[in-house]
């Protein structure tokens, strides 16, 4: 059989013969009960007990000292970058292989994304290659890391935990320290993932999460900012609630800010979802093991596994096509879709998107190779392996 036929056969051996989507939420807990409580009490917007409860649950689960819930993951990253000191005219190091929200959040700050390469070990930023690049392309001026070519300050480094797999945070934290960069983790995809025993999103100055409809848990739309710094948490909450000064009736605001607070009805959904997170993670790990067994018998493709010493949430199960077969990717995508199996490729690299064509970038050879060989396959927690 062809590679695409072998892939379809392997997927069908796990998911069965019905049409199957890439990822859909599972509502098997208290979702209806909690949402009904919001409706019955009329607390559906920015005030209500579920927002506070959701933040408490998140902080307890991740081990972060503070969690601030917001309307989506992009808003979370936007605020985190602002509070990390990113200013108009700065540059921010982000992977070229990421979802566009990472680059957009940098742009919202008036800064420019500066694209860096990934590695094969975890699909995240390559710390060895990045260190070598920064050593020759930047200089230290007044304690700041400055791009020699553009003359702009490089203010922050944003690793993204690709498809839920933790990036090499030890290596990246050392780079952040050595080059005076704020490290902000884009952990949008990695709730439930651990880097050497610590939850992703808790090792940098900030971490940000997403609870979009296709994430491991969902609030419909939503996100959160994680931090261990009490003052930064206070500022994050203030900026995301229009900088309103607390008062029984007056509306006074002490700076230009954002209406980013998560509504109570979304948080209610999130509370019910968090109660089921352990079972979702167990289901995804079982699905990985079933897929791994099925694909171990096929030449030309492999299932991506969690990095050594880490524990991934396996948010999206990921195939990587061997380089000699990469020309078959489009055929595989079309054939799987035609047979009722939803698959998708990795994102188009950020430096290839029209808004970001002129942004600075290092050599992106591995990110380019990876983007041509990655295929995500059905990963919903309700797939019973």
Reply yes or no on whether the pLDDT at 48 is more than 90. Answer: no
Q: What is the mean pLDDT of residues 74-91?
A: 98
Element (H, E) at 245: none
Q: What is the mean pLDDT of residues 248-262?
A: 96
User: In this predicted model, what pLDDT tens digit does every residue of 142-198 receive, in sequence order?
Assistant: 999 999 999 999 999 999 999 999 999 999 999 999 999 999 999 999 999 999 999
Neighbours of 141 (CB within 10 A): 10
Q: Which residue has the tokens 């579920």?
A: 50
User: In this predicted model, what pLDDT tens digit does every residue of 231-240 receive, in sequence order?
Assistant: 999 999 999 9
- The band of 1, judged by pLDDT with boundaries at 50, 70 and 90, is confident
Which of 277, 285, 278, 274 has its CA nearest to residue 317? Answer: 285
pLDDT at res. 101: 98
User: In this predicted model, what pLDDT tens digit does every residue of 192-214 receive, in sequence order?
Assistant: 999 999 999 999 999 999 999 99
User: In this predicted model, what pLDDT tens digit does every residue of 320-346 receive, in sequence order?
Assistant: 999 999 999 999 999 999 999 999 999
Q: What is the mean pLDDT of residues 68-78?
A: 98
Domains of the chain, earliest start first: 3-27+277-377 (3.90.1150.10), 31-274 (3.40.640.10)
Close Cβ partners of 97 (under 8 Å, ≥ 6 residues apart): 118, 123, 162, 346, 347, 349, 350, 367, 370, 371
């Amino acid at each position: 059989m062809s590679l695409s036929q072998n892939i379809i056969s392997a997927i069908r051996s796990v998911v069965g013969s019905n049409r199957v989507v890439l990822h859909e939420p599972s509502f098997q807990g208290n979702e209806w009960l909690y949402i009904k409580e919001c409706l019955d009490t009329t607390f559906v917007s920015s005030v209500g007990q579920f927002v506070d409860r959701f933040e408490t649950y998140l902080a307890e689960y991740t081990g972060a000292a503070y969690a601030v819930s917001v309307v989506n993951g992009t808003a979370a990253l936007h605020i985190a970058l602002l509070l990390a000191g990113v200013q108009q005219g700065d540059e921010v190091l982000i992977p070229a292989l990421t979802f566009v929200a990472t680059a957009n959040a940098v742009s919202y700050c008036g800064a420019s994304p500066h694209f860096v390469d990934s590695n094969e070990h975890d699909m995240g930023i390559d710390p060895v290659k990045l260190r070598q690049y920064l050593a020759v392309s930047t200089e230290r001026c007044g304690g700041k890391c400055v791009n020699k070519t553009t003359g702009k300050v490089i203010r922050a480094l944003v690793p993204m935990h690709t498809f839920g797999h933790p990036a090499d945070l030890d290596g990246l934290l050392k780079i952040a320290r050595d080059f005076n960069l704020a490290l902000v983790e884009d952990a949008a995809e990695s709730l439930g993932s651990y880097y050497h025993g610590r939850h992703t999103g808790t090792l940098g100055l900030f971490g940000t999460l997403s609870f979009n409809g296709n994430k491991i848990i969902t609030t419909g739309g939503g996100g959160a900012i994680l931090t261990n710094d009490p003052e930064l948490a206070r500022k994050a909450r203030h900026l995301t609630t229009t900088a309103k000064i607390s008062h029984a009736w007056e509306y006074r605001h002490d700076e230009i800010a954002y209406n980013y607070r998560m509504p109570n009805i979304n948080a209610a959904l999130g509370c019910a979802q968090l109660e089921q997170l352990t079972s979702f993670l167990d289901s995804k790990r079982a699905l990985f093991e079933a897929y791994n067994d099925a694909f171990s018998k096929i030449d030309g493709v492999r299932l991506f596994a969690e990095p050594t010493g880490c524990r991934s949430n396996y948010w999206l199960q990921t195939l990587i096509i061997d380089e000699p077969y990469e020309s078959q990717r489009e055929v595989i995508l079309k054939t799987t879709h035609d047979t009722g199996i939803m698959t998708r490729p990795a994102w188009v690299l950020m430096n290839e998107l029209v808004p970001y064509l002129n942004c600075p970038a290092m050599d992106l050879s591995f990110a380019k190779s990876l983007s041509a060989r990655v295929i995500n396959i059905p990963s919903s927690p309700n797939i019973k392996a």
